Each structure stands twice: as C-alpha cells, then as structure tokens.
C-alpha cells in the first residue's frame, strides 16, 4: 500500500535527524586517535582487498535502522552494509552509513553519512551530512536544496576547458584500470580532475559549485541517491551512459550547458576495444 500522504518536508526532517545522529556516532568511534588502530583491526574486505567495512559502518547503519523502526516501521530500507528489508508503505530508505570508509580509516577528511528516501517516482528527500565540517546538505523533491538550512545558489558554469571535474575509482582492479585509461584524454581538456573518495560529497560539491561536474562508473544506489537529488534541486542535470566503461553504467552530473560536452569527451576518451 502506497504512502500517498507522505510529506517530503517531514521525511527530510527525519533524514536529517538520522544522518546527524549517525555522524555523531562515527565521530565518537574515531575520537581519541583510536580509530586507526581499532577500526583498521575490525575492518573486513567486501568486493576486493581494498574495499573496507568497519564496526563503525555497521553501527552507524544499525542506528539508522533502529530509528526508522520507531518512526517509519512500514517503510522499506536498502542499506550498504545490512542489505534490504521489505516494507508496505511504498517508500524505501536508501542508506550509506559511511560513504568514504577508507578515508575514515586513514583519517583523510572526506567521508559522510548519506540518506535518501524514494517513492515510485524516484528520490523524494535526501541528506548528505559531513560530520567533520558540520555541514548538512539536504533536499526534497521540488523544494530546492540547502546547505545548513540556507538555499544553495549556484553561479554560472565555466567552459569545459576551465571546469574542475570530480570522479571516483572502483575497488575492482580491472574496472579501476579502465577508469584510469580515460584520464590521458580528459586531463588536457579540463581545468583539472579531483578524486576525494566520496561520491555523495562530490555530488554535493557540484551542487554547491565546489566542483563544476562529476562522473563515475559503477556507483550503487546508496552512493548517489541523496547527493544526486541535492544536485538536481540545484539545477544540475545528469545522465547514465553505458558506452564508456564496459559492462558498467557511468553517472555524469553537470550544469546543463556542460553535460553534453562532457559526455562527448568521455566517449572520446573510452579505451579502444
């Protein structure tokens, strides 16, 4: 049964509350300089030897699940660490409890909590919370996007040759190699490339004008659901293209005046087969 009466603003308020609570938990888990030793020791490998999940990831997701079970027990949940649980309301929460786990373990300051809620039409509300900067990006469909409660206003995009472009690399060695082979063509055609290690933060950076565009292959729903809604509500457009990296879809997000040109550049850069 669909929850037709769901209020996007109310759902967003809950998402912000959960993301900040999870962020506080993650900060506490790394306090006192213990995280490099303790979290490194508890990390498990997921898709490859370099793809990590820690006790902190799992505790963060468990907290979100507990809060949802109290506030929205009929909603479904898709979490990176705990998998999917069914619901009856027609709403699904998409949770990355710690986007940028490797950064978190290494004390590299680019990690966040990403939470979105979707209905049959896509993302309805989303939040990306960066505990280290005390920054909370948020958006609800049709209501715009905010940073810390203030509406985000983007300036005009530069030409592609002057654009700062974000990207990310897979934990799969073969896919990472394919992604690296794009760079010799891309780098001379843009201002520079940035790779911070958190797709959610990168998408919010495009929304806020800290990056001019972003692309990455092989993202999962929890990597992009919240950040992409925030970017869309700031006027950013996106495309999913399947002909740049073999067997993987590439998400491209950019201002409207840059999207087609960046997609064409990515296609020109793709490795020959």
Q: Are 98 and 201 in contact (CB under 8 A)?
A: no
Q: How confident is the model at residue 50 (pLDDT cuts 50, 70, 90)?
A: very low
135 & 164 share domain:
no
What is the predicted pLDDT for the residue at 83? Answer: 74
Q: What is the pLDDT of residues 126-143, one digit of tens each?
A: 999 999 999 999 999 999
Report how far apart, in Å, the C-alpha atoms of 176 and of each of 55, 179, 213, 226 are. 26, 5, 20, 24
The answer on 221 and 144 residing in a single domain is: no
* Residue 238, strand partner residues: 253
Mean pLDDT of 154-159: 92
Domain final residue, candidates 151, 172, 200: 151
More confident residue, 54 or 263: 263
CATH code at position 98: 3.30.540.10
pLDDT per position as a tens digit, 114-123: 999 999 999 9
As for how many domains the chain has, the answer is: 2
Q: For position 178, what pLDDT does the model report? A: 92
**Domain that residue 89 falls in:** 8-151
CA dihedral sign, ordered 60, 97, 133, 154? negative
Read off the pLDDT of residues 34-44 as tens digits, 9 standing for 90 and up.
544 455 555 54
Name the β-bridge partners of 241: 250
Mean pLDDT of the chain: 90
Does one domain contain both 145 and 234?
no
Whether residue 136 sits in one domain with residue 15: yes
State whether 65 and 123 are in the same domain.
yes
pLDDT-derived band of residue 48, with 50, 70 and 90 as boundaries?
very low
Please indicate, yes or no, whether residues 27 and 135 belong to a single structural domain of this protein: yes
Domain boundary among 122, 151, 180: 151
Same-domain check for residues 92 and 204: no
19, 132: one domain = yes
Q: What pLDDT shows up at residue 71?
A: 97
Q: Are 81 and 99 in contact (CB under 8 A)?
A: no
The answer on 58 and 136 residing in a single domain is yes
- Which residues have C-beta within 8 Å of that of residue 190, sequence separation ≥ 6? 160, 161, 162, 163, 164, 165, 265
Query: In the structure, what pLDDT confidence band is assigned to residue 49 with cuts at 50, 70 and 90?
Result: very low
Decide: residue 194, CB within 10 A, 0-12 exposed, 13-18 middle, 19+ buried: middle
Question: Which CATH number characterizes residue 171's domain?
Answer: 3.40.190.80
Mean pLDDT of 28-38: 63
């Amino acid at each position: 049964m669909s929850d037709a009466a769901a209020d996007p603003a109310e759902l967003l308020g809950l998402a912000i509350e959960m993301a900040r609570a999870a962020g506080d938990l993650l900060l506490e888990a790394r306090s006192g300089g213990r995280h490099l030793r303790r979290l490194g020791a508890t990390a498990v490998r997921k898709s490859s030897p370099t793809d990590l999940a820690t006790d902190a990831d799992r505790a963060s997701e468990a907290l979100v699940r507990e809060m949802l079970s109290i506030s929205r027990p009929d909603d479904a949940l898709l979490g990176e660490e705990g998998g999917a649980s069914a619901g009856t309301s027609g709403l699904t929460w998409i949770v990355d409890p710690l986007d940028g786990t490797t950064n978190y373990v290494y004390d590299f300051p680019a990690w966040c909590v990403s939470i979105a809620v979707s209905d049959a039409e896509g993302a309805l509300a989303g939040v990306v919370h960066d505990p280290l900067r005390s920054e909370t990006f948020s958006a609800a469909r049709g209501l715009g996007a905010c940073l810390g409660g203030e509406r985000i206003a983007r300036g005009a995009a530069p030409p592609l040759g002057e654009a700062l472009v974000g990207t990310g690399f897979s934990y799969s060695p073969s896919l990472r190699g394919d992604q690296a082979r794009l760079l010799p063509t891309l780098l001379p055609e843009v201002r520079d490339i940035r790779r911070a290690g958190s797709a959610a933060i990168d998408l919010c950076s495009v929304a806020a004008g800290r990056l001019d565009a972003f692309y990455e292959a092989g993202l999962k729903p929890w990597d992009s659901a919240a950040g992409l809604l925030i970017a869309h509500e700031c006027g950013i457009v996106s495309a999913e293209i399947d002909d740049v990296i073999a067997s993987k879809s590439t998400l491209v997000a950019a201002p409207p005046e840059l999207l087609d040109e960046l997609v064409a550049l990515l296609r020109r850069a793709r490795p020959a087969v």
